[in-house]
Amino acid sequence: MLNSDCTGMPGELKDCSVFIYDVREASQTFSKGNFGYPMSGGALELDLVEAAFLVQLNRLEVFHKKRKMEFTDLFDYASGIVEDFDIKYIVFKDLRERGFIVKPESGAFDLRVYPRGMLPSKSAPLYMVCAVSERSALNINNFLEEIAQSKDRGKQLLYGVVDEEGDLTYYKMAMLDPTGTLDPGARVGPTVGKLVTDRIFVFDSEGGERLRNEAFYGKYMQGVLQLSLIEGCYLIGTGELKVIDRNGRTIGEKELIEFGRKNQDEFDLRLKAYIDLRNRGLVVKTGFKYGTHFRVYEKSPDECHARYLVHAVPASIVTMWPDISRTVRLSGGVKKQILFCRISKELQYLEFKWFRP
């Protein structure tokens, strides 16, 4: 319980650690709360974030050069020598108060978290946690490395994001391999479509019905099937569509792609993601009304809701956490999973999910 009136045990601050030399007190601190690291001879070494937490609980009194340090003194000291100490402390404190055993971590992660009711000596960590400020940037390459490292250890990756008022939001991170039920090798063409402005219209009712009913391309408008440029480029590539201009001239795949680049933003990124998703047997539709590139179905849109919202991003994108937060909150509100498709030699799908530990 916070703000207890009890008197804490004495600890001595040295550089980046606090040491409890009384063997009995050290043993109790470690055995009852799994704080710190036992040393030879029976003393206990505490990380600064653990020491600050115990001081706030009034379970520890820290002395530096024989002077007692209040919580504010220790917090100020630690903030001066540990980068983002305030952020790490807020996340550590929150997880501890949720009943988890939490240990400071080095390297790519800030904390490791053990299952409730389990001791570190008898269990493996459940989560590897990165504690970050909402004002920090998220580099997608660093994120991939952190996912890989946590996966190699058999752990889940969490980000604890602290806003400017000290409130905390957790995001669970993972890589997914989405697949659908459509046969990506099935072909329904060929048919002819006409380029009008930046859409392609299939006036042949039989050809339009094949594209729509058998593979769920496009959308009908007064009996005419309209296709997006992205769909048109894909269907030219599979041999299911021939595109002509208003003069009847055939437009090849390369020419249509170049037209798309000139007339639509992020066309190459979206096209690569679209092709990959279609080749995975998924049905892909525009995600404009959700603020993403695509909404994606595992089977017929007539039989189910879209499971995923997919946004294509460059391989080395750096983004800010408020952007991630807006996108994740939106996807949660419409009960869909948000995936960021990282466009590289091999496309990768990254899931950001709001999470309560």
Q: Kindly list the catalytic residues.
A: 297, 305, 336
- ∠ CA 213-216-222, nearest 5°, is 70
Q: Under a CB-based contact definition with an 8 Å cutoff, are residues 337 and 309 in contact?
A: yes
CA–CA separation, 219 and 207 (whole Å) = 13
Mutual angle of helices 71-81 and 48-56, in 10-degree steps: 160
- ∠ CA 200-206-210, nearest 5°, is 75
What value does the CA radius of gyration of the chain take, rounded to a whole number of Å?
Answer: 28
Q: Under a CB-based contact definition with an 8 Å cutoff, are residues 63 and 11 in contact?
A: yes
Q: Edge-to-edge strand order for the sheet containing 67-69?
A: 37-38, 44-47, 17-20, 9-14, 60-64, 67-69
Q: Write the DSSP symbol of residue 122.
A: G
Who's near 138: CB < 8 A, 6+ residues apart? Answer: 132, 318, 319, 320, 321, 324
**Chain-centroid distance, C-alpha 24:** 44
The burial of 192, by beta-carbon neighbours within 10 Å (0-12 exposed, 13-18 middle, 19 or more buried), is given as middle
Q: Under a CB-based contact definition with an 8 Å cutoff, are residues 150 and 158 in contact?
A: no
